Amino acid sequence: MGANGTIVHVESPSDGRQGDSRYRTRQPCDALGEAGYSVLSGHLGSPAIWVEAESADVLVLCDVTDVDLLPLVQRRRARGLTTVFEINDDFRSPQPWSRTAYLARNLLTRSLTAQLAASADGVQFTTEELARRFAGLNGQRRVFPNQRAAPPSPLMPRVGPVVLGWGGSAGHVEDVRAVLPVLQRVLEARPEVSFQLMGPPSFEALAQALPRTGYVPGGALEDYEEFVCGLTVGLAPNLPTAFNRCRSDVKFVEYAALGAVAVCQDLEPYRASVRQGENGLLFGSDAALERALLQLIDEPELRRRLAARAWGDVQQRHEAAHVQRRVAFLEALRASAEAPSADRVGVEPGHRREADPVGSIVLEGLSALAADEAPRAAACFREATRRAPHFDWAHVLLARALGGAAGENALRPSLEGRVPSVSALLLKAELVEGRRAMAEAAGWWRAVAKACPQLGFGQFKLGLLAEAVGDAEQAEAWLSAAQHHNPYFMGTWARRAMKARDVESTLDWVARGLEFDPEAWVLHFTRGEALISQGEPGLALRSFEKALEGGGEPKAVTAALARCHAALGRTERAEELLRSLAA
């Protein structure tokens, strides 16, 4: 690639103010623009992004999931254009309390992330742990840790009373809750010390539970950096979950660059960055955290020394110092493309973020949907379709907001084009099936299978419909085809396991499926069902627990756990679980 190479960087719907957007989109794109590329960034809700994604020299899909991206990647590959997928979170093991945990329970969404990563020309990660965990998806991979936009400003020594603090997103709520008892004891033992907490409104109640604690509403990253500048000691608590083990070390980098002493969980994200007693402190237990905080409060010289060393260590943790690694990765992928794309002439280097008004309307509609305000959401999406009548995403979102017959009607523009939207076909089939018109639904599932065979879901649904009418041979053919095209869709593996004639065959299917998705909750659940039917409640219990850890449907898994405890004679525990279901 040369100075006129083009890069389109796509992220999930976002206003760009969140930390992830800053660290994974804006800063890398700014650096690539300064390195001589013409970079356009934006989110999936922008029609212009979809248009530009078709022909850009490089397309970076930043942890985004949409079925229409699969054929897009295929079309690009046929033209010799390079596509990179980024994984910046463990999408298979979300925090149970996260508002996006449903994405892991949805087996199709779960499989799409893996499929997109596997079908891309290369995959990039934020951490080594993510790269290790998902190494099997793609042989071309690199790790690009989170960096700051620029080198740290001169270190400003902290003066005055010690201020402890933490700031972040709702995804950390249980991490913070876990250290509240320690903070309570420390604040009671050292009345001259205060604590500051920054986050979404739900965090205000946590702040109120502690003495001398102030609450600051969450905001943009710039607001967060101003907040950190007021801290003497910054905390980075992370419960030892699979998701947290794959987080980045950016908390340490932020604290170090802005002069706060970092006290971090002794977990994968921080073990390579924090050197105990040299540039920060690690803790692995409540007692260790309490000792660390009291030591820092009582020893100002230790605070000064740790802060100075950490500040020096992050001098090179900025995008400009690392952008050439990104350039080398992209150029290597580009050079290995089967057919070069036409050279682009006169494209100015730099980074431009797509400011499409339709994208803003879509964001507003998605916010309304999240708040269960379907009429307001539908109004937004209808306006988006009026402004961008050929934008399939807006038609599909409108159809989802409307549902029923109105929803089917809203899909018509996306179904009648020369190349129908796979998302529209998928939703049309679901809506038709929802009104029990099974013969008509089969026709739409065939259309899904034809438009995007690699998705595998159309074939899967056709297999279920064949089963329903007793056509075992046709059902097996469709299920086999689904599995061939999309081995990451665990619904097919679970279905074939459930159809097995004995426990041994069931466990074999489960084991084979887990090779593609080791945390697939539905397979662990299926294994548990097989084991308990064989009279092995003790073994089944662990499988059901794994299903729950992997994001399984809470009610179904909890009921199964109750059955196991009852079979093991633990009546009290079984009754407790059943009561939790009724609550």
Q: CB–CB of 468/438 below 8 Å?
A: yes
- pLDDT tens-digit series, residues 68-90: 999 999 999 999 999 999 999 99
Token couple for 249: 């070390």
pLDDT (0 to 100) of residue 343? 52
Q: What is the residue-averaged pLDDT of the chain?
A: 93
Q: Is the pLDDT of residue 101 over 80?
A: no
Helix axes 554-567, 571-582, angle to 10 degrees: 160
For the ranges 45-49, 274-278, 334-338, 355-359, the lowest mean pLDDT is seen at 334-338
- Reported in sequence order, the residue ranges of 366-525 that DSSP labels E, i.e. its strands, are none
511 CB contacts (<8 Å, ≥6 apart)?
A: none
Helix (H) or strand (E) holding 518: none
Token couple for 178: 């876990």
Q: Could you give the dihedral angle defined by the CA atoms of residues 211, 214, 218 and 220, in that order, rounded to the nearest 10 degrees? A: -140
Q: Is the pLDDT of residue 15 over 90?
A: no
Q: Which residues pair with 125 in a beta bridge?
A: 87, 143
Residue 25 per-residue DSSP state: I
152 CB contacts (<8 Å, ≥6 apart)?
A: 256, 257, 258, 311, 314, 315
Token couple for 388: 């961008």
Q: What are all long-range contacts of 332-339, with beta carbons under 8 Å and residues at least 24 apart?
A: 333/58, 333/82, 333/84, 333/121, 333/122, 333/140, 334/1, 334/5, 334/57, 334/58, 334/82, 336/121, 337/80, 337/81, 337/82, 337/121, 338/77, 338/80, 339/79, 339/80
pLDDT (0 to 100) of residue 4? 63
- pLDDT tens-digit series, residues 299-358: 999 999 999 999 999 999 999 999 999 999 999 999 987 655 555 545 789 999 988 899
- The mean pLDDT value for 531-559 works out to 91
How far apart (Å, rounded) are the C-alpha atoms in residues 456 and 479?
Answer: 9
Q: CB–CB of 53/10 below 8 Å?
A: yes
- The mean pLDDT value for 27-45 works out to 96
Q: CB–CB of 340/48 below 8 Å?
A: no
How far apart (Å, rounded) are the C-alpha atoms in residues 381 and 374?
Answer: 10
Q: CB–CB of 456/482 below 8 Å?
A: yes
How far apart (Å, rounded) are the C-alpha atoms in residues 205 and 235?
Answer: 18
313 CB contacts (<8 Å, ≥6 apart)?
A: 256, 273, 279
- The mean pLDDT value for 186-203 works out to 95
b/e per residue, 381-398, with b = 16+ CB within 10 A? bbbbbeebeebbbbbbbb
pLDDT (0 to 100) of residue 171? 85
- The mean pLDDT value for 452-465 works out to 97
Residue 273 per-residue DSSP state: T
- The mean pLDDT value for 465-481 works out to 96
Confidence of residue 3 (pLDDT cuts 50, 70, 90): low
How far apart (Å, rounded) are the C-alpha atoms in residues 246 and 267?
Answer: 9
Q: Is the pLDDT of residue 544 over 50?
A: yes
570 CB contacts (<8 Å, ≥6 apart)?
A: none
How far apart (Å, rounded) are the C-alpha atoms in residues 268 and 128?
Answer: 9
Confidence of residue 501 (pLDDT cuts 50, 70, 90): confident
Closest CA relative to residue 203, chosen from 164, 235, 166, 244? 166
Q: CB–CB of 440/60 below 8 Å?
A: no
- Could you write out the DSSP letters of every residue in 69-125? HHHHHHHHHHTT-EEEEEE-S-TTS--TTSTTTHHHHSHHHHHHHHHHHHHSSEEEE
Q: How many CB atoms lie within 10 A of CB 466?
A: 19
364 CB contacts (<8 Å, ≥6 apart)?
A: 380
pLDDT (0 to 100) of residue 1? 45
- pLDDT tens-digit series, residues 210-269: 999 999 998 888 899 999 999 999 999 999 999 999 999 999 999 999 999 999 999 999
84 CB contacts (<8 Å, ≥6 apart)?
A: 58, 59, 60, 61, 120, 121, 122, 123, 124, 329, 330, 333
Backbone angles phi, psi at 432, to 5 degrees: -65, -40
The domains of the chain, with CATH numbers, are 6-149+318-340 (3.40.50.2000), 163-313 (3.40.50.2000), 490-583 (1.25.40.10)
CA distances from 549 to 176, 279, 315, 339, 521 (A): 20, 34, 39, 44, 8
- The mean pLDDT value for 157-173 works out to 91
Percent of the chain with pLDDT over 70: 97
Q: Kind of pairing, strands 281-283 and 213-217?
A: unpaired
How far apart (Å, rounded) are the C-alpha atoms in residues 45 and 47?
Answer: 6
- The mean pLDDT value for 118-134 works out to 97
pLDDT (0 to 100) of residue 344? 52
- In 3-state terms, the chain is what percent helix, strand and coil (to 5)? 55, 10, 30
Confidence of residue 564 (pLDDT cuts 50, 70, 90): very high
How far apart (Å, rounded) are the C-alpha atoms in residues 486 and 202?
Answer: 39
pLDDT (0 to 100) of residue 340? 54
- The mean pLDDT value for 359-386 works out to 95
Task: Return the ∠ at Cα 487 (arms to 65 and 50), rounded to 5°.
Answer: 25
Token couple for 112: 């799409």
Q: Could you give the dihedral angle defined by the CA atoms of residues 497, 501, 506 and 507, in that order, rounded to the nearest 10 degrees? A: -170
How far apart (Å, rounded) are the C-alpha atoms in residues 143 and 123?
Answer: 9
Token couple for 560: 């199964």
